[in-house]
């Protein structure tokens, strides 16, 4: 086997949802250096690619500072059977893109994912640009490139402009200039977790027992052991209004004495408790705390 073939085999493969030029693609290239990116049509496909060993890891958006949680991902996390090994925060610079012959004076419509359209209302209103909902951001940029109409534009990333040969008519057009998306890196569970250290996040899934004040009592262990919970999400199970599952991020390593005690106490009030991620806290949190 030639050296180039060996290197190719060892190249890290990363899956994400969306077309080339999406913000997930941008996050992939920012977080991983020299990785082979594998775009997927759906979040399920991106996750399945990891489970089947077609790629090494998936990078998936979970929260946006303007839009809130990415509901599709949160509903898939419990059943993904993957392990969270990192988080990454991507500042989202939304750009107004157009064809080479277009300008802000010629563009009358903007196509993009509905979430992005909702994040640029002030800009679009100011320039009297009507909105057209697209399947995703990069796909919208590709469509505008193919149509090559100076009256049509797309809201997408700078990387999409480069890939599809479009012009950036105006950068940073989002209403919230601090617009940021949090991504999770997911892979098959490593045999050895990262070592105990400062600024570690542990992600857990749990189902509380069907007893009075179960959630209140379960949360009490984190308070009494001085463990900071930075995220808590709930999910209905099987279409029932009675059964609820929770996803939480806590600060600390599972082997830390305080975290271990909190998890032990949580276990007493739950039917199921799984640790689905242990990873270093992003430095972005320090800069924005």
What topology does CATH give the domain 200-287? Alpha-Beta Plaits (3.30.70)
206 annotated active-site: no
Helix (H) or strand (E) holding 80: helix 71-80
pLDDT score of 238: 63
Region 95-170: CATH code? 3.40.190.10
269 annotated active-site: no
Instruction: Tell me the backbone φ, ψ of residue 112, rounded to 5 degrees.
Output: -175, 175
pLDDT score of 7: 39
Over range 228-237, report the average pLDDT: 84
Domain 3-91+180-187 grouped into CATH 3.40.190.10? yes
Task: Spell out the domain ranges in the chain.
Answer: 3-91+180-187, 95-170, 200-287
CA-to-CA separations, 169 to 79, 98, 101, in angstroms, rounded? 42, 6, 11
* Residue 8: exposure state from Cβ atoms within 10 A (0-12, 13-18, ≥19): exposed
Over range 32-60, report the average pLDDT: 93
Over range 176-197, report the average pLDDT: 89
- Reported as a single tens digit per residue, the pLDDT across 112-132 is 988 899 899 999 999 999 999
Give pTM, 2 decimals. 0.87
Catalytic residue among 32, 89, 183, 269: 183
3-91+180-187 and 95-170 share one fold: yes
Nearest residue to 55 via CA among 33, 32, 34, 38: 38
Catalytic residue among 137, 181, 202, 270: 181
Percent of the chain clearing pLDDT 70 (strictly above): 92
Work out the mean pLDDT of the chain and round it to a whole number: 89
pLDDT score of 3: 34
């Amino acid at each position: 086997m030639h050296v180039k073939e060996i290197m190719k085999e060892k190249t890290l493969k990363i899956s994400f949802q969306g077309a080339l030029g999406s913000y997930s693609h941008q996050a992939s290239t920012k977080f991983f250096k020299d990785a082979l990116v594998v775009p997927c049509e759906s979040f399920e496909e991106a996750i399945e690619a990891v489970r089947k060993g077609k790629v090494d890891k998936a990078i998936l958006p979970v929260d946006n500072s303007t839009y809130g949680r990415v509901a599709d991902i949160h509903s898939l996390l419990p059943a993904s059977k993957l392990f969270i090994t990192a988080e990454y925060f991507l500042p989202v610079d939304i750009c107004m893109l157009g064809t080479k012959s277009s300008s802000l004076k010629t563009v009358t419509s903007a196509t993009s994912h509905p979430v992005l359209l909702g994040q640029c209302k002030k800009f679009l209103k100011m320039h009297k640009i009507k909105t057209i909902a697209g399947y995703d951001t990069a796909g919208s940029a590709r469509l505008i490139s193919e149509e090559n109409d100076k009256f049509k534009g797309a809201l997408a990333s700078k990387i999409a402009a480069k890939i599809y040969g479009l012009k950036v008519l105006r950068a940073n057009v989002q209403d919230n200039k601090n617009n940021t998306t949090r991504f999770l890196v997911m892979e098959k569970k490593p045999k050895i977790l990262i070592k105990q250290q400062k600024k570690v996040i542990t992600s857990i899934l749990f189902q509380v027992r069907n007893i009075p004040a179960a959630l209140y009592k379960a949360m009490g262990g984190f308070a009494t052991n001085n463990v900071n919970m930075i995220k808590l999400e709930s999910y209905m199970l099987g279409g029932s209004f009675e059964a609820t599952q929770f996803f939480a991020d806590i600060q600390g390593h599972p082997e830390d004495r305080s975290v271990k005690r909190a998890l032990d106490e949580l276990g007493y009030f739950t039917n199921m408790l799984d640790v689905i991620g242990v990873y270093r806290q992003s430095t972005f949190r320090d800069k924005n705390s």
